[in-house]
Structure formats: structure tokens, C-alpha cells
Structure 1
Amino acid sequence: MILDNETTHQFAELALAALRKTGLAATPRNYELWYAHVEGKNPSLSAHIQKAMDSTGKVTQEKADQLYKKLVQHSDISNDVIDLMTRFHTEVTDLYDIVEQTGESAQGHSEKLSDMSDQLRDSTEKFPAVGALLEGVISVAKTMREENQYLEDRLAASIEEVNTLQRDVEAIQREAMQDALTGVANRATFDRSLEKHMSEAKENGEPLALVLGDIDHFKKFNDTWGHQTGDQVLRLVAEVMNANVKGMDMLARYGGEEFAVVLPGTTLENAHRLADKIRCAVESRRLRKRRTDEDLGVITMSMGVAQLHAPDTMETLIERADGCLYAAKSAGRNRVCDERELKTPDEESHQGVA
């Protein structure tokens, strides 16, 4: 008599539950032995199983193997069932091992497992006794494929979300480090950079120079042509200066119409030459009003250059570069002055210079 699906499912559940109580693993052989036991068609087998149990209802694997060899192994279907279950068990084990060890997608292996499942489904028509168990495992394989696809989709979505967040964070960091009007580094970034490069220069015994530059007569220009044109001047100066700053050099808007350039590994002489090159580049650019194309003339800059000395702090280096800048202003503007030309504090006065 061929059993209906519901009955085979019930027997399968009973067999697995009985195996669990006896403390045996649900291997193909143990499952076949206990399925035959709960099915009730072999009273001799059931009697031998009862005798094999100890006082707690447990059965050793050695006794189970003996019962299998004596009462089951010579049946017509036993070898086919063992082969069928073993092949399926090998496929599942290999799949899990590959996924666990490599972390790669299980999609290709799941497809192979699906083909194997179809073959096993055909085989179960010949062996109803193992049909219920195989149907359950096939169902698990299908669920695994579906969950794997879901996880892959979620992983792809998560990666894109992380990339978006990373781009947002980078944009926020850039905004925090840049001057909003000119796009060059802001004062806070300048302070951090100068402190870092000064420390490295002192530690490595390397030169470092600082250039401070100020747009000449900017307040008058701003009052005459308006703040929008003044902003245009600041952007133009930043663009020209940035084009002449290379490598580790760092350009920053120091404040208002004043800019700073940190020059690691640069001597005072080379820093002076670079400052003068920037000054000439700025002077060579004529400014035109955007709306009317009106010629607003040329822009000039005064620049001061200071060299790092061993006792220097950030404050003393900046103060010396600032003193050179105002010396350039006092000498007629549109020029570069370095600390070799700096007057003593008693001779120097910043009053009235703009």
C-alpha cells in the first residue's frame, strides 16, 4: 500500500523525534532504521530497538549499527536510500562549507542544489519512506536561495547607502575646512596646518616659510563698486594664488582680504620668489564688472614673508610675517617684503596702513 503524503510526514516527524530522544544523530541510516520502527511494519525490529535501549531510553550508535546491519541492510531499497540521502547530504554540506569559507554568493551553488533537488524529488516517488524528509530539505534549500537573494539585494542597497553617507560626510568635511566664498582653506584649517608643519619642520630640521598677502586698497574698492564686485575680487585673487601653490604648500583665506600660504620645506629666498611670482600674476589680471563688462582696472597685493626659527611659536611666526606685510604696505604697496628687511618694533608702525 502506498502511503499518502500526510501519513509519510507524520512518520517522518515521529522518526526524527524518536531519534532525538534516543540521543542518536539523524544520519540517513539512523533515520531509515527509526522510520521503519515507527511505521510499525517490522515488529521484530521494534522489539530489538526496545531491548537496545538503556534505562534512560538512550541507544548507543554501536547498537544502532548492529540493528541496521541485522534487520535493515539486506532490504531491497536500503542501499538506494543510503546513496540517495548521502548524495543530498554531501551537496548541502559542500554548499554551506563554500559559503562559510569564502563568503561568496551562494547563487551558483543554489542553482546546482536546485537541480539536485529535482532529481531527488523524482527518486522519492520510488521511495515514499524518505519522501517526507527530502521534501522538507528541498523546501529548506528553496528558502535558502530566496533568503540569499534577499540578503544580496539588501547588501547592495546597504553598500550604496554607505557610499552616499560617505560622500555626504566628505562634503561636510570639505565645507568645514574651506572658505565658503573663495573655496580655499579657511582660518581654522590654516591654524591646524601651520601647527602641524611647524612641528614636523622642527623635528626633521627642515625649513618652513610663511607668506601673508593683503589686497591693496580693498576697502576703497569695495565701497566704490559694491560688495558683489568685492567678492569677485576675492575669488579672482584666490584663483590666481591657488594656481601657483603646489604640492604640500597650502593656501588659506586668513581673514577679510588677507591670504596666507604655508610653505613646508621652503627657504626664505624661495618663499620670497614665490610671493613675488604670485604678486605679478595677480597684477597681470584686469578685472571687469560682470553685468556691464566695465573695466575696473588691476588688482595689486602687498606680501610679507617670514622664515621659521627654532624658538618660534605659531604666534611669533605669524607676527613676524604680519610685520613684513605691513612693511610692504608702508613702502608703497604692490611689493614683497621678507624678514631680512623688517624694521625693529621701535621703528615700525601699523597705524594708518590699509
Structure 2
Amino acid sequence: MSGAGHEDRERSFVIAQRANELMRDYGSSASPQAYAVWYTYVSGRQPQMNEAIKRLTTKSGTLSDDDIAELYEAHIDRRQIEGELDRHNAGLISEVQSIMEMIDLSLGSTAEYGASLQAISRDLHDTTPNRLKDIVATLIVNTRDVSASNRTLEAHMRESRREIEALRETLAAARLESLTDPLTGLSNRKHFEEMLRNEIDEGARSPRPSSLILIDIDFFKRFNDQFGHLTGDQVLRLVAIVMRETVASGGTLSRFGGEEFGILLPGIGREAARVIAETVRTTIMGRELVKRATGESLGKVTISLGVAQRCSDDTIVSFIERADSCLYAGKRMGRNRTVDDAEMSALPEVA
């Protein structure tokens, strides 16, 4: 067995053991669904589910079988979520089709009215008084029919507009959720890469500068293992809060996953980006972390950062790789520091 394969196998057993412990401590039964929920919780693959579990256990101290069933259905069995989106899309399509049918009916009614007016205009030549009465009566009836059809269409259009607006908001919320890291509220990697792609495309059309900051929490695994996942989540939120406090609107803030974060700064060059990076680093280092449950001081948290300014020939990959190289140069130099791509050529080679 390869080294990587052995590590994955050992990790799976560690996760399984911890899942069993949590299931025994917080669960009402050891069902397959409960095991799946707790295994997923320990693995960290569903951060949104982890948040829900923390809320439930904080409130009641346990997870009931009903809680487990709801968590499993909402976060592990993705078919429900996909079904909801399918239903919303189907509802939107149905509303549009209904509007089109009403418009077709209205157009048909209007066309008939127009044909009737043309026939009446022809009959107005050399007509008798009695015939004129008939024409006026017909015109009144046809006008009433068209008015009624238009009122029906208008009412239906108003109702459909409300329905479509509600569906649009639901779909927009679903899209936002798919682009957001639920633990920190920052963009997830998918959205961050979309914004990077847009910035690379914009850079091909505009000479404006832009910079990328990559962040990694120092010794995060050691901290997580020592104080637990709940405290580890507190550290991740701290980094996100400081990023929001430091970066002005216009920047894109992201959590890639794990303890890795990114900041995209359109219109900002290397020197200004480095100032922002250093502000984030020193602010985080200056805040003492306290365990909420006990008030115990957990010491300081430090981060390492890499800063790169976009080059004219950059791709998404090369832009990220350059910032990543700066980040890990800082790690090799002792951590808790910022390195930018202008410094890299002056740094000593490290094996």
C-alpha cells in the first residue's frame, strides 16, 4: 500500500472512531443515518450541516432521531435539494407559458376586433339608419369583449409578475447559497474563481492593476486538534471578520476551504495590497482568542500571506500559483509574515 493510501486509510479510521464517540455522546440511537451524519460532521465535508448540528446540540444537548433524519435528508441526500430547484424552475417555466397563452388569446381577440372594424368601415358607405344602429350595436359588443379580455390579461399579468418575482428571489437565494461558504459567510472557491476569471478578462482590456492575497492560518491543525473543532471554527470566523473589517467594498473575500483564504483586489497594486495584507496579519495577531464556554485564553493566532500583482499575460492558474509561492516562502521563513512577488527573486533558495 502506498504512503498516501495508508494515510487515507488511517484517517478514515480516525474519523470513524470520532464519529462513533459523538454518536454515543449526543445521539439517541446508532442508526446507519446517524453514523453517516456524524461521519460527515467529523470529516468537515458539509460545513452547513455542521453549523446546524452545533445549533441543535447547543440548544438541547442531543440529536434526536427526527433531527438526524432531517439533517440526513437536507445535507447528505442531495436529491431533495435538487428536487426543490427543479420545482422552482418548473414553476417559473409554467408561469411564462401561462403568460404566453394569455398574450396569444389577447392578440387573437385584438385581431378579431380589427377585422370587425374593417368590415364596419366598409359597411358605413351608403348605409341606412337601421343598418347604422346594427353597426353601432356590434361595435359596442366587440369593444366590450376586447376590454374584458384586456382586463383579464392585465390581472393575470400582475399575478404572474408577483409569482415570477418570488421564484426569481428563491432562485437568486439558491445561487447565492451555492457561492457562499456557510461557516464564514465569505465567497467559496467557486465564486472566487469566477471573480478571478472576470478580473483576468478585464485585465486584457484595461491597464488597471489588480492584486491577489492568499492567506493560510499557521499551525491550524495543531490548534484544531488541541482545542477541538468548535474552537477551530471560531478561529476561521475571526479571520473572516478581520478580512471584512480591513478590505473596502470592491474586493472579493473568499474561504477556499480548510484554513485557506483569498482576497482579490481589483484596481489595487502590489504596494497597497501588501499594506492591506499586513493590516490583516497584525490585527489577527493582536487579538487574543478566548474559549466561549469557559472564558479560557487560547493565546494568539497568526497567519502567513502571499501577495501577487497581476501580470499582463497571467492566467487564473499562474496568478494563483505566484501568490501561493509567496505564501509558502513565508511559511518556510518562519510563518507569521507577508511575502510579495517582488521579494521572491531576492529570497534565498530553500531546499
| Alignment TM-score, normalising by the size of structure 1 | 0.57
Partners of 2:155 and 2:205 in 1: how far apart?
51
Q: Decide whether the 8 Å contact of 2:306 with 2:330 is kept in 1.
A: yes
Q: Which runs of 5+ in 1 are unaligned?
A: 1-23, 31-60, 93-136, 350-354
Q: Decide whether the 8 Å contact of 1:201 with 1:264 is kept in 2.
A: no
**Sequence identity (%):** 39
Counterpart AA for 2:296 = E
User: Which residue in the other structure is 2:308 paired with?
Assistant: 306
Tell me if 1:230 matches 2:200.
no
Q: Which runs of 5+ in 2 are unaligned?
A: 1-117
Q: CA deviation at 1:144?
A: 7.0
User: Which residue in the other structure is 1:252 paired with?
Assistant: 254
Counterpart AA for 2:213 = V
Partners of 1:26 and 1:308 in 2: how far apart?
72
Counterpart AA for 2:300 = V
Q: CA deviation at 1:152?
A: 4.5
Matching residue within 328, 331, 337 for 1:329: 331
Shift in alpha-carbon separation, 1:346–1:334, aligned structure 2, 3 A:
closer
User: Which residue in the other structure is 1:263 paired with?
Assistant: 265
Q: Decide whether the 8 Å contact of 2:255 with 2:262 is kept in 1.
A: yes
Tell me if 1:160 matches 2:158.
no
Shift in alpha-carbon separation, 1:273–1:146, aligned structure 2, 3 A:
same
Shift in alpha-carbon separation, 1:338–1:25, aligned structure 2, 3 A:
closer
User: Which residue in the other structure is 1:240 paired with?
Assistant: 242
Q: Decide whether the 8 Å contact of 1:198 with 1:208 is kept in 2.
A: no
Show the 5 A alignment for 1:1-354. Answer: 62=126, 65=127, 68=128, 92=140, 137=141, 141=144, 150-342=152-344, 347-349=349-351
CA RMSD of aligned residues (A): 3.2
Shift in alpha-carbon separation, 1:156–1:312, aligned structure 2, 3 A:
closer
Counterpart AA for 1:232 = Q
Secondary structure of 1:194's partner?
helix
Secondary structure of 1:340's partner?
coil
Partners of 1:203 and 1:152 in 2: how far apart?
45
Q: CA deviation at 1:218?
A: 0.8
Secondary structure of 2:342's partner?
helix
Secondary structure of 2:235's partner?
helix
Q: Decide whether the 8 Å contact of 2:120 with 2:135 is kept in 1.
A: no
Shift in alpha-carbon separation, 1:309–1:146, aligned structure 2, 3 A:
closer
| Alignment TM-score, normalising by the size of structure 2 | 0.58
Q: Decide whether the 8 Å contact of 1:201 with 1:265 is kept in 2.
A: no
Q: CA deviation at 1:174?
A: 0.6
Task: Name the stretch that deviates more: 314-323 or 152-161.
Answer: 152-161
Task: Name the stretch that deviates more: 179-188 or 281-290.
Answer: 281-290
Partners of 2:324 and 2:343 in 1: how far apart?
13
Partners of 1:315 and 1:344 in 2: how far apart?
23
